[in-house]
């Protein structure tokens, strides 16, 4: 398996999941809620603006790409966050799904490492069409363990930083942290995984 193939398949999978538009929608929704909340101190208005902004992006996605399900998922996620914040009147609850998702994904990644079936290996194996063939190669197992560990650390950082801010109800720093620890942090984690895979590929080429 070559690094070039992994990169190509990963980019294809990234595109299938929505690509950069999904990343932009995630950042925009959090940024809009955060900025409007700081300006108005009104949870309902902030939630409505966040949903409205993503709705506009979703309509543009459908009209230009015809990708209905990606647009629907993005709108659904933001809508759920807005519903939590709006119905409770607590701005911090807009970011509660981020905490729940980090806890669930961190647990899943960690468990997969403990049972020696690292999730990154499973995902890459499916993307490359080799399924679990990588488990026969000790070196491949180790690098997929490392890549999965990167996401365990990412989830732990999110919980460690967002958890106290959420419980304290500090919406301003929570909004900044949640935005930075969302798509940007995921991009950084993917970069580390890219480096792990690339270094191995260079050594074996």
- The string of pLDDT tens digits covering residues 109-148 is 999 999 999 998 888 787 777 778 888 888 888 989 999 9
**In the numeric block, which tokens belong to residue 182?**
């969302």
Q: Which of 15-24, 35-44, 128-137 has the lowest mean pLDDT?
A: 15-24
- Give the span between the Cα atoms of 169 and 172, in whole angstroms: 9
If you average pLDDT over each of 109-113, 121-125, 187-191, 198-202, which comes out highest? 109-113
d(CA 30, CA 33): 5
HSE toward the beta carbon, residue 57, CA cutoff 13 A: 26
DSSP assignment string, 118-135: -HHHHHHHHHHT-TTGGG
Measure the N-to-C terminal CA separation of the chain; round to a whole number of Å: 11
Q: What pLDDT score does 69 carry?
A: 66
- ∠ CA 133-121-161, nearest 5°, is 170
Instruction: Give the per-residue pLDDT at 184.
Output: 83
pLDDT tens profile 79-89: 899 999 989 99
The answer to whether residue 11 scores a pLDDT higher than 50 is no
Query: Which has the minimum average pLDDT: 13-27, 30-44, 191-205?
Result: 13-27
Query: Any idea which residue has 């398996």 for tokens?
Result: 1
Confidence of residue 12 (pLDDT cuts 50, 70, 90): very low
Do residues 46 and 95 make contact, with C-beta atoms less than 8 angstroms apart?
no
Q: In this model, does residue 19 exceed pLDDT 70?
A: no
Which structure tokens are listed for 100? 């729940």
Whether residue 13 is predicted with pLDDT greater than 50 in this model: the reply is no
pLDDT category at 193 given cuts 50, 70, 90 is confident
In this prediction, residue 18 carries a pLDDT of 47
Q: CA distances (Å), 131 to each of 73, 119, 135, 136, in order?
A: 27, 12, 9, 11
Token pair 């998922």 is found at: 73
């Amino acid at each position: 398996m070559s690094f070039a193939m992994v990169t190509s398949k990963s980019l294809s999978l990234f595109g299938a999941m929505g690509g950069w538009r999904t990343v932009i929608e995630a950042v925009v929704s959090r940024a809009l809620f955060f900025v409007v909340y700081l300006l108005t101190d009104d949870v309902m208005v902030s939630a409505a603006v966040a949903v409205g902004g993503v709705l506009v992006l979703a309509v543009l996605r459908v009209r230009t790409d015809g990708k209905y399900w990606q647009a629907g998922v993005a709108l659904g996620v933001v809508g759920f966050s807005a519903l939590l914040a709006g119905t409770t009147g607590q701005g911090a609850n807009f970011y509660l799904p981020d905490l729940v998702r980090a806890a669930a994904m961190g647990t899943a990644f960690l468990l997969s490492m403990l049972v020696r079936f690292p999730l990154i290996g499973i995902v890459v194996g499916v993307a490359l069409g080799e399924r679990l063939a990588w488990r026969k190669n000790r070196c491949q197992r180790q690098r997929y363990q490392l890549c999965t560990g990167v996401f365990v650390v990412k989830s732990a950082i999110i919980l460690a930083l967002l958890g106290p801010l959420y419980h304290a109800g500090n919406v301003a720093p929570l909004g900044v942290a949640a935005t930075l620890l969302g798509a940007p942090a995921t991009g950084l984690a993917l970069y580390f995984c890219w480096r792990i895979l690339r270094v191995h590929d260079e050594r074996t080429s």
